[in-house]
Amino acid sequence: MYSQIVPLILFGIATAFTPGPNNIMASYSGFNFGFRKTIPLMLGVIFGWTALLISMEVGLIFVFQKFTILQDIIKVIGSVFLIYLAYKIAFSKPDSKALIEQPITFAHMFVLQFVNPKGVMVATIIVSTFIDIEFNYLRDALFVTFIFFWLAVFSISTWCLMGKYLRHFATSKKFLQGFNYTMAILLIVCVVLFYI
């Protein structure tokens, strides 16, 4: 395991900080609602992702390996949900008070982790590549969970802050709507990339 620490961290940085549904939603929420109101979303991602990773480590990965159709089902369900979120983002009104009072909740983001195709694929790769199931399984699982928990904290916070500070450049409703359209399109692009 120790010989794989550098590849593990590099893989973690690449997957945690690159655009994906979680990061795009955090940026959108930070832009439209601010950092404080985005905290439930961020906690949903952090703890949902960690719960998914732990689930894979304690045996869910064997279910996925045996019934590969499950990954296809999750991909379809996750894609439909992300398209729905993209629609909601694209057609939200930036100046709506009702919208500002209702950012995405902890529960929604927690559950999304289990149908987020990128998250499921990454968790599967992590467990099958970086955890030795024969020797030091518990040590490896705890180490991997620790690393990816903190990568989730830093990446989701970074994307939220990027969205929040981009808001300082928002000078018109047209800019705000353009930002929302961009975030919606990026979510659709994520969905398309799942099938390529």
- As to burial, measured by CB atoms within 10 angstroms (0-12 exposed, 13-18 middle, 19+ buried), residue 182 is middle
Instruction: Count how many residues are written for the chain.
Output: 196
CB atoms within 10 A of CB 181: 14
Tens-place pLDDT, residues 47-75: 999 999 999 888 877 887 788 788 788 88
Tens-place pLDDT, residues 21-38: 999 999 999 998 999 999
How confident is the model over 73-97, as a mean pLDDT? 78
Q: Where are the beta strands (DSSP E) in the chain?
A: none
3-class secondary structure, 7: helix
- Residue 97 in this model has a pLDDT that exceeds 60: no
Q: Where are the domains of the chain?
A: 2-194
- Under 8 Å CB-to-CB from 173, ≥6 apart: which residues? 94, 95
* Side-chain-facing half-sphere of 192: CA atoms under 13 Å: 7
